[in-house]
């Protein structure tokens, strides 16, 4: 994008994706550091969508950060492999945790997203979210997080519980609600401007966001739910079985939506059509083989 000449459509600024807006903001701030990000964003989106469309588009854009934090993160810890569906990547729970960026005495984190409580990054979040095998004393942990091991904050047991499973689902539900609102706002905004085709790309961005939010909600129900199931007979209730199967079904439906999506999507480090590769492994492990398929030998479901 040539920032010397702002792009226009019919005498107005060209509507942009969130990524393009970020670049525009950086360029404008470089030209005039006194301008606030808020006023640059307001002026740009108002010029693009008009005074009626602006509040709807702005609300959608402002939801982007909490959307990411409730969909690609789980209780404040990132649970993705460069955004791909990969809940069993070891480093998510060991050497690349959110807590590593904070001093040992600043490990308490507040999680909103319809959860609304404080957690300790390691005593609570990693202890529960991590597969037991990833909490053991390894060379990588000694190298990157020796202070966590020395603090005795982790144990090697399976700590998933109904309490935390409900927190996870509440957060993923919140992410889906945000995505639904973002898409709804974008569609409504397109009805209020003179050239609604200008919003087509953005509508697709938010439609894909909704698909991903539902995909990851379903996967979280199935994977973390199965973790709880594997703790033994006392946890293997009809309610939990229904939840796991519901999660598998929702993820499958969203993967079908991805496969059947009518447009080619931008390719980056994350190629969402490859999410089925991980899901097929999860589904086979949950419904047939137990976690041995993932080489997580400490957790094998038994009837």
- 177-219 pLDDT, tens per residue? 999 999 999 999 988 876 667 788 889 989 999 999 999 999 9
What is the pLDDT of the chain when averaged over all its residues? 88
- 127-159 pLDDT, tens per residue? 999 999 888 888 888 888 889 999 999 998 999
Q: How far apart are CA 86 and CA 88, in angstroms?
A: 6
For residue 35 the two structure tokens come to 């301008």
- Tell me the residue length of the chain: 303
Give the model's confidence band at 4: pLDDT under 50 very low, under 70 low, under 90 confident, else very high.
Answer: very low
Where are the domains positioned within the chain?
8-62, 74-151
Q: How far apart are CA 222 and CA 218, in angstroms?
A: 6
Please say whether the beta carbons of 251 and 276 come within 8 A.
no
On whether the pTM is more than 0.85, the answer is: yes
- 247-300 pLDDT, tens per residue? 999 999 999 999 999 887 766 666 788 899 889 999 999 998 888 777 776 665
Q: What is each CA distance from 162 to 185, 219, 228, 289, in whole angstroms?
A: 34, 16, 8, 23
Taking each helix axis from N to C end, the angle separating 200-229 and 64-71, rounded to the nearest 10 degrees, works out to 30
Give the pLDDT of residue 80.
87
Give the pLDDT of residue 173.
98
């Amino acid at each position: 994008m040539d920032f010397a000449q702002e792009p226009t459509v019919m005498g107005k600024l060209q509507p942009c994706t969130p990524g393009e807006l970020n670049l525009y903001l950086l360029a404008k701030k470089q030209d005039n550091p006194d301008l606030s990000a808020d006023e640059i964003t307001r002026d740009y989106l108002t010029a693009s969508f008009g005074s009626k469309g602006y509040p709807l588009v702005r609300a959608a854009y402002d939801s982007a950060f909490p959307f990411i934090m409730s969909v690609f993160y789980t209780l404040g810890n990132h649970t993705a492999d460069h955004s791909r569906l990969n809940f069993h990547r070891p480093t998510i729970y060991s050497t690349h945790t959110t807590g590593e960026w904070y001093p040992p005495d600043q490990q308490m984190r507040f999680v909103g997203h319809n959860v609304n409580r404080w957690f300790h990054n390691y005593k609570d979040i990693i202890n529960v979210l991590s597969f037991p095998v990833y909490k053991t004393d390894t060379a990588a942990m000694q190298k990157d997080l020796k202070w966590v091991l020395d603090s005795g904050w982790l144990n090697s047991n399976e700590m998933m519980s109904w309490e935390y499973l409900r927190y996870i689902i509440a957060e993923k539900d919140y992410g889906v609600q945000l995505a639904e609102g973002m898409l709804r706002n974008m569609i409504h905004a397109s009805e209020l401007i003179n050239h609604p085709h200008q919003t087509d790309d953005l509508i697709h961005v938010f439609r894909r966001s909704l698909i991903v939010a539902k995909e990851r909600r379903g996967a979280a129900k199935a994977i973390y739910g199965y973790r709880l199931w594997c703790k033994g007979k006392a946890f293997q209730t009809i309610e939990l079985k229904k939840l796991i199967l519901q999660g598998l079904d929702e993820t499958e439906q969203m993967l079908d939506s991805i496969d059947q999506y009518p447009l080619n999507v931008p390719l980056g480090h994350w190629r969402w059509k490859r999410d089925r590769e991980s899901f097929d492994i999860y589904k086979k492990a949950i419904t047939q083989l137990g976690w041995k398929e993932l080489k997580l030998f400490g957790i094998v479901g038994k009837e």
